[in-house]
Amino acid sequence: MIPASFEYAVARDVADAIQLLGSSGGEGKVLAGGQSLIPLMKFRLAQPGLLVDINRVKGLSDIRENGELRIGALVREADLDMNAIVRERYPILVDTTRVIADPLVRNMATIGGNLAHADPANDHPATMLALRASVVARGPKGERVIPIDEFFVDTFTTVLAPDEILTEIRIPKRPAGGGGAYLKLERKVGDFAIAGVAAMVVMDEKGRIAAASIGVTNAGPTAIRARKAEDILRGQSPDDKTIAAAAAAAAGESKPWSDLRGPAEYKLDVIRVLTQRAIRKAVARATGGK
Amino acid sequence: MAVATAPTTSRGQRTHKIHVTVNGVPHDVEVEARTLLVHFLRENLNMTGTHIGCDTTNCGACTVLLNGRAVKSCTVFAVQADQATVATVEGLEKDGKLHPIQEGFHQEHGLQCGFCTAGMMMTAVAFLATNPKPTELQIREAISGNLCRCTGYVNIVKSIDHAARVMRETAEGKA
C-alpha cells in the first residue's frame, strides 16, 4: 500500500517546525515515530498535504528528573524502557512502554506520538492520567502547559492547534509512599488492548491510601479517569473489600464497545479484574515491593 | 533514529534526493516522499531479500537495521533514511562466509518456507548486539514483532541461541 502523494520537509528546530505547519494551511502533520501515522496514510485514512519531519530536531529526546520527571516528546519507547531513572523510580512507565506494539515498532515509536495521536486504544494516555501528567505544547504564540485531564478531546483529537507541537511530558516527582502499575490484556503481542488499567497510589504512614488515581484504556472515545473508583480508595486501607468496590466503580465508569476483541460486557469484567490487580500492584510497589 | 548530519533533502517537495548507505555501499537516489523504505530497497536498489508480508506493521518480514536499530521498513519513508545507514539481509554474508545468525538458521533448521527469515535474522542481529547472552524468554520477546506463519518458532529460537553461542565464542577467541 502506498500513501497518497504529499510534500515533505525536515524541521531544523521546533520554531521551524511550527512555521512549516503554519504555512501548510492546516494540511500539515508532524512526523515523529510514524508508527501510527504511516499506517493510517497507507490505508489513506490520513492524507496530509505536508509532513513535517521532527526526527532531526535536537533537544526533544531527553529524560531528566529535577523537581519533576521531564520526558522529551521524541523519546522512543525502546529508550524509555532502557532509561535508568524510569526503571528505578517509575516502573509504571516501564509496564506501559513494554506492552506497546512490539519491540520493532518501539524502536521508532515515540511517547509524544502515542499521546498526540489520541487513540483511546493507546497505552500512555491512561498511564499519564493516573500519573497526573502535563504536556507542554509550543506554537506560534509560545509555550503552554496543558494538564493531561484537559488534553484529550475525542478519538484522535486533542486540544493541540494544527500548528502546535507537543514537546515534552511532565510527570510529578514520585512522592514518598507513591507507587503505580499499568496492566493490559491483549490477544497477542502488538495488538491493541482488550482493556488496560493504570493505577497510582500514595500510601500514608498508617498504611492507608492517601491519594489514588486510575486511568483506563479503551473505555470510551478517549482514555478515561475512573474518578468514582479514586474516591472509594481515598482514605481507606487497601483491603480486599475496598479494592473490589473501587474496581466495580471503575468498570461502572467505563464505556467499552463490542468488537473483535470481545463484547462490551466481557470487557467491563476485564476492566474490573485489571483494576483490582493494578491497585494491588501499585500498593505493593508503594510499600517497597515490586 | 539519531541522525547527526544535516539532511540534504529539499524542503516541502514531493520528490527528494537522498544519500543512503546500504550494507556499506553509498547510494544517491531521487525518491518520492511517499516511497516507503522497503519499496526503495526492493524497487530502486533491486534488493529483494527484504520481504513485504502484511504491509500493515504487524509481521516484521520487512525488518532492516536503520542506523543499527531494527525497524519495520514498510513503516518508514525512504526520505527518513537520508544520511543514514541501512543494513539488510544481503549484507550478512561476508567474503563467502555466512554470518553466525545465518549459520544458526542453517544448523538448527530455523526456516521452513523462508518468508519471515530475513526479518527474523535482522531482528536477531540487532538484538544480539545489545544482549549477547540472552535467555530463551528474552529471545522470544525480541522476536515478538516477527511472525512465522509456518509457526516454526521453536527452531528459530534455537537458531538465535546457536548464533549467540557462536558469537560469544568468537568474541572470546575460542573459535
Last residue of a domain, one of A172, A191, A226: A172
Last residue of a domain, one of A142, A172, A202: A172
Contact B86, B20 (CB under 8 A): yes
Q: Do A143 and A235 belong together in one domain? A: no
Q: How far is CA A189 from the centre of its chain?
A: 18
Q: State the DSSP code for A165.
A: E
Residues of A within 8 A of B11 (CB-CB) are 9-10, 20
Q: Using CB atoms within 10 Å of the CB of residue A156, give its burial: 0 to 12 exposed, 13 to 18 middle, 19+ buried.
A: middle
Q: Do A100 and A36 belong together in one domain? A: no
* Alpha-carbon distance A102 to nearest alpha carbon in chain B (angstroms): 5
pLDDT band at B11 (very low <50, low <70, confident <90, very high): confident
pLDDT for B27:
98
Among B10, B13, B36, B80, most A C-beta atoms within 10 A, so best to mutate, is: B80
**β partners of residue A31:** A53
Q: How many structural domains are present in chain A?
A: 3
Comparing CB atoms, the residue among A20, A55, A190 nearest residue B3 is A55
pLDDT for B173:
78
In a domain, A1, yes or no: no
Contact A131, A170 (CB under 8 A): no
Mean pLDDT of chain B: 94
> Which structural domain, as residue segments, surrounds residue A184?
178-286
In a domain, A2, yes or no: no
Same fold, B15-91 and B100-171: no
pLDDT, one tens digit per residue, over B139-172 is 999 999 999 999 999 999 999 999 999 999 998 8
Comparing CB atoms, the residue among A31, A42, A104 nearest residue B70 is A104
Comparing CB atoms, the residue among A39, A53, A55 nearest residue B57 is A39
Contact A10 B2 (CB under 8 A): no
Contact B144 A55 (CB under 8 A): no
* Alpha-carbon distance A125 to nearest alpha carbon in chain B (angstroms): 22
Q: Using CB atoms within 10 Å of the CB of residue A22, give its burial: 0 to 12 exposed, 13 to 18 middle, 19+ buried.
A: middle
CATH of domain B100-171: 1.10.150.120
* Alpha-carbon distance A271 to nearest alpha carbon in chain B (angstroms): 25
Q: What percentage of chain B has pLDDT greater than the value 70?
A: 93
pLDDT for B10:
62
Q: How far is CA B15 from CA A8, A13, B18, B31, B150, in A?
A: 8, 22, 10, 5, 39
As given in the structure block, the three cell numbers for residue A170 are 511532565
Q: Do A99 and A141 belong together in one domain? A: yes
Residue of B nearest to A82 (CA): B130
CATH code for the domain of A122: 3.30.465.10
Domain boundaries along the sequence of chain B: 15-91, 100-171
B92, pLDDT greater than 80: yes
What whole-number distance in Å separates Cα of residue A47 and Cα of residue A59?
29
Residues of chain A falling short of pLDDT 70 = 290
Q: Do A192 and A208 belong together in one domain? A: yes
* Alpha-carbon distance A107 to nearest alpha carbon in chain B (angstroms): 7
Entry field: residues in chain B: 175
pLDDT, one tens digit per residue, over B94-130 is 999 999 999 999 999 999 999 999 999 999 999 999 9
CATH code for the domain of A268: 3.30.390.50
Q: Do A11 and A101 belong together in one domain? A: no
pLDDT for A290:
61
Residues of B within 8 A of A8 (CB-CB) are 9, 12-14, 16, 33, 77, 79
Residue of A nearest to B142 (CA): A103
Q: Do A143 and A214 belong together in one domain? A: no
Mean pLDDT of the region B49-75: 97
Last residue of a domain, one of A116, A147, A172: A172
Contact A104 B77 (CB under 8 A): no
pLDDT band at B6 (very low <50, low <70, confident <90, very high): low
CATH code for the domain of A49: 3.30.43.10
**β partners of residue B18:** B29
Q: Do A126 and A207 belong together in one domain? A: no
* Domain B15-91 class in CATH: alpha beta
